[in-house]
A and B are shown apart, each in its own frame.
Chain A
């Protein structure tokens, strides 16, 4: 109550705050609050991502239990080595991403840039391997749905497996691509020197997204490539 009587002093104080932190937006009281809000925001987004992929996983589980032989026969066409390689590549990229967050938080600009670059390189490898896989599958006539034209299909239902395979890996691939774009933006800002222990929210938030994409692949890999 007593402070109400001193509006002038406060206005003065505000003006004295001339060197206002450019990274603190005006609708947040503190940096801490701003950081926590961003984190809650990205976690809510990740929750919607889980539910979106969840629908595909539930559909997969249903159809797999209904046509186990077709799914088993279908998965034999996939390149297991490529799938394993991509799993390792994504895990390593998650590792370099978490290092990037760590180096951003400890104001190590050079190491942050290197880690971001390695993460992007891993993402590119992942997409490259995926391209090789898709080319291989298309060449065998393994298309989704009614476009499926592989003559060697003893069950007659392999097209269902490949519908799920292309939907799930395709949607996941789009997420990798989106992550790549956002990381290019991060890299540009990191080179410009935007991030330090005072402000590294974008790196942290993109890192969380990237780890979720990794987690989704952790489930996709055994389900699609290794099922029996």
Chain B
């Protein structure tokens, strides 16, 4: 009980110290936030502008790079990550790492696939996905499937 109180007092003392450190945010927050908003709006304009041109495969990359710059500005300044305790940034980065794993493994899978022909040859050659004709039968697959040939008697 008393030990607890001593710890409490110690942490209180420590707390005061870091409270002061906490106040050491940006010198003039309102000006900084206005600057960030201006950057974000300019980048939004840039995204729209970039989308007018065709860069082939780089379209998505360009859009995603600008979006990531915008998201970083929001996270670092509006979400205070730059001046915050590291723990919060660690949590965010962990989530992003796992999202990256998810995306990259999905990418590896989808880019290394080959067309699978059903064993019974039911799907027409060259067919990919089909629009579902009714929801009970996903992708209309089962409807097109011929019954397996009957074994010769």
Residues of A within 8 A of B (CB): 3-4, 6-7, 10, 13, 29-33, 36, 39-40, 43-44, 46-48, 50-51, 54-55, 57-58, 61-62, 65-67, 80, 84, 87-88, 91-92, 94-95, 97-99, 102, 145-146, 156-157, 159-160, 207-208, 211-212, 214-215, 218-219, 221-223, 226-228
Could you say which residues of chain A place their CB within 8 Å of the CB of B11? 29-30, 32-33
B79 and A208: CB pair below 8 A? Answer: yes
Known: A43-B92, A219-B71. A61 touches B107 (CB 8 A): yes
Could you say which residues of chain A place their CB within 8 Å of the CB of B131? 146, 156-157, 159
Looking at the complex, which one of B48, B74, B78, B135 makes contact with A226 (CB distance below 8 Å)?
B48
| Complexed CA–CA distance, A134 and B71 (Å) | 26
Could you say which residues of chain A place their CB within 8 Å of the CB of B15? 29-33
B78 and A66: CB pair below 8 A? Answer: no
| Complexed CA–CA distance, A32 and B37 (Å) | 29
CB<8 Å pairs between A and B, sample of 26: A3-B3, A30-B11, A32-B15, A32-B22, A39-B88, A40-B88, A40-B91, A47-B91, A48-B95, A50-B92, A62-B106, A65-B110, A88-B44, A94-B78, A98-B78, A146-B132, A146-B133, A146-B134, A207-B78, A207-B79, A211-B78, A218-B74, A219-B64, A219-B67, A221-B67, A226-B51
| Complexed CA–CA distance, A218 and B18 (Å) | 34
